[in-house]
A and B are shown apart, each in its own frame.
Chain A
Amino acid sequence: MNAAPLIEVTGLVKAFDLLPILRKLDLTIYRGEFVALLGANGAGKSTLLRMLAGMSKPSAGVIKVGGWELPGEAHAVRSQIGVVSHKALVYEALSARENLRFFGQLYNLAPTALDGRIDDLLGQVGLGKRGDDLVRTYSRGMLQRLTIARALIHNPDILLLDEPYTGLDVDAAGVLDELLRNAHREGRTIVMTTHDLARVPGLVSRVVILARGVIGLDTPTIGMDSVRLSQIYTEVTSMASAR
């Protein structure tokens, strides 16, 4: 296990009005880990990701990312994270290249380095030949590859992915698998929410199952196949619903 904790969540509580979503959640994620956050709808997965990204303030508790505390030091944290969601987070009326240039400017990339970085990323995600086409002409799979490129434009240490496989066909999901493996091999820490249990064991190094706002199970995936994971998932979520 890598020794350095990169994300530390302590006593995290999030409530919307009086409805608690996360209840005193503790979680530590180490540098270089690839973590799948699993759980039923409403378990708090996306809420947790939004708080890790500095998009939502905790009702109570402490979140530290790379040693910086949220939300007070959000600027420092934002430079370290890239976010991919099931929404594209890109402009359909712009080309892929124009989108990446825009977000590169927002992330303060030097103008001289930006074009090279964009070419490099478009090549990595297999959009080199379509980089000047308007995004509205892209398929769902191409859009998601562009979204990955956008999230990586500033070379972040951490990737946060919220249901990245939503709406992808088998081929596009396979391409996304490979992109995420590459990002992980490059040393990035990845936290991903998903309902696609079959995909998880071959991809991630650790599984965290959220149930009713707390961690129901936190385990490495070594030696685990998708059948075993499904059994564990069902047990944990059933126990939580019965409580």
Chain B
Amino acid sequence: MKTSFFRAVSAIVRKDLRIEFRSRELISMMGLFALLSILVFSFALELDRIARQEAISGVLWVTVIFASILGLNRSLAAERDQGNLDAMLLAPIDRPAVFIGKLVGNFLFSLLVGLALLPVMAALYNVNMIQPWVLLVLTLGTLGFSAIGTVLATMTVQTRTRESLLPIVLLPIALPVLLAAVRATTNILSGAPQDEWIAWPQILLVLDVIYLTLCVLLFEYVVEE
């Protein structure tokens, strides 16, 4: 008898969280990378205060994205190397349940790193980063990026050059999400009137729906031989 979608998703998410809470491998690696990145950016932009203010949303997203790529590679490689992805696919569960289960874990870890960056960046760049709209944009942007990243990482972990291949295929495809996220964040942080930037979070939401739908549909073909 087929396992229900939600039971399968819930089992996969709880398994990923349990493994991560126990090893702290992904979070520590992603967090350390993110921290070092914003410190480097902070030193590089130190002399020019205006440039620093203008570049802050770019710094945030570049850091979150590359930290996420590290996490995505590791998360899917761990499933592939021990054959665990095959073991999950052998169970009588829908393929999209495996995708959503892995996506939720990857999204949560990336979002956690992004959220942890906000107060650090606020201190380093002297900008109020902790605003409800920034949190919403961070959540939507990370979700869209994680969805595309989960599908593509499932493909690239089967290759020998997986570490370098993932960013090469992921960044061009995720560009619309990144563009909307950076534009929205820049406008929110600059204190522009809401009318001028409210379209960007809306576009981000629409992109998330489109990408999520495509990823759910494509995942079955990605894992199929």
The reply to whether A91 and B19 contact each other, CB–CB distance below 8 Å, is yes
B1 within 8 A of A: yes
From residue 20 to 67 of chain A, which have CB atoms closer than 8 A to chain B? 50, 53-57
Do the beta carbons of A83 and B90 come within 8 Å of each other? yes
Among A55, A88, A91, A98, contact of B90 (Cβ-Cβ < 8 Å): A55
Q: Could you give, for residues 79-103 of chain A, a 1 whenever the CB lies within 8 Å of some chain B CB and a 0 otherwise?
A: 1010101011111111000100011
A89–B3 CA distance with the chains assembled, in angstroms:
19
**Does the CB pair A57–B2 fall under 8 Å?**
no
CB-CB contacts below 8 Å: B1-15 with A: 1-4, 7-8, 10-12, 15
> Is A75 in the interface zone, CB < 8 Å from B?
yes
Say yes or no: A57 contacts B224, CB within 8 Å: yes
Closest to B93 in A: A106
**Chain B 70-87 interface 0/1 with A at a Cβ cutoff of 8 Å (1 = within):** 000000000000111011
B22 contacts chain A at the CB level, 8 A cutoff: yes
- B100 to chain A minimum Cβ distance, whole angstroms, is 14
How far does the alpha carbon of A54 sit from the alpha carbon of B10 in the complex, in Å?
24
**Residues in B whose Cβ lies below 8 Å from that of A54:** 90
Q: Does the CB pair A91–B84 fall under 8 Å?
A: yes
In the complex, the answer to whether B225 meets A56 with C-beta atoms within 8 Å is yes
Contact B15 A108 (CB under 8 A): no
Which residues on the B side are within 8 Å of A76 (C-beta)? 92
Indicate if B116 sits at the interface (CB-CB under 8 A): no
Q: Write out the residue numbers on chain A whose beta carbons fall within 8 Å of the beta carbon of B83.
A: 85, 87-89
**B residues in contact with A83, CB < 8 Å:** 86-87, 90
B40 at the interface (CB under 8 A from A): no
Q: Which of A53, A55, A93 contacts B23 (CB 8 A)?
A: A93
Q: Which of A87, A88, A91, A106 contacts B91 (CB 8 A)?
A: A106
Q: Which interface class (under 10, 10 to 19, 20 to 34, 35 or more) fits B?
A: 20 to 34
Given contacts A102-B15, A107-B3, contact A55 B89 (CB under 8 A): yes
Distance A167 CA – B7 CA, assembled complex (angstroms): 35
Query: Does B55 count as interface, using CB distance less than 8 angstroms?
Result: no
- Chain B residues closer than 8 Å to A78, beta-carbon distance: 90-92
| A contact residues around B91 at 8 Å (CB) | 78, 103, 106-107
Task: Evaluate contact between B11 and A105: CB separation under 8 angstroms.
Answer: yes
Does A145 sit within 8 A of B, measured CB to CB? no
Residues from chain B with Cβ under 8 Å of A75 in the complex: 2, 92
Cβ contacts under 8 Å, A81 to chain B: 90
Given A57-B225, A89-B86, A94-B18, also A106-B1 (CB < 8 A): no
Given that A83-B90, A90-B87, A107-B3 are known contacts, is A98 also in contact with B82, CB under 8 Å in the complex? Answer: no
Residue A184 at the chain B interface, CB threshold 8 Å: no
Q: How far is the CA of A46 from the CA of B4 in the complex (A)?
A: 30
A212 touches B (CB below 8 Å): no
A150 at interface, CB cutoff 8 A: yes
**Which positions 99-113 of chain B face chain A at CB distance < 8 Å?**
none
Tell me if B210 is interfacial: C-beta within 8 Å of chain A. Answer: no
Smallest Cβ-Cβ distance to A101: which chain B residue: B11
* Residues of A contacting B87 in the complex (Cβ-Cβ under 8 angstroms): 83, 89-90, 103, 150
Complex Cα distance A56/B23, Å? 33
B124 near A: Cβ within 8 Å? Answer: no
B214 within 8 A of A: no
The 16 listed contacts between A and B (C-beta, < 8 Å) are A55-B86, A55-B225, A79-B2, A83-B87, A85-B83, A89-B83, A89-B84, A89-B87, A90-B82, A90-B87, A91-B84, A105-B11, A106-B12, A106-B88, A106-B93, A150-B87
Known: A54-B90, A89-B84. 18 other contacts (CB 8 A): A55-B90, A55-B225, A76-B92, A79-B2, A83-B87, A85-B83, A85-B86, A90-B87, A91-B19, A93-B22, A93-B23, A102-B11, A103-B91, A105-B7, A105-B11, A106-B8, A108-B7, A108-B92
Closest 10 CB pairs of A and B: A87-B83, A106-B91, A56-B225, A105-B11, A108-B3, A89-B87, A78-B92, A93-B19, A89-B83, A75-B92
- B interface residue numbers (CB < 8 A to A): 1-4, 7-8, 10-12, 15, 18-19, 22-23, 82-84, 86-93, 224-225
A→B interface (CB under 8 Å): 50, 53-57, 75-76, 78-79, 81, 83, 85, 87-94, 98, 102-103, 105-108, 150
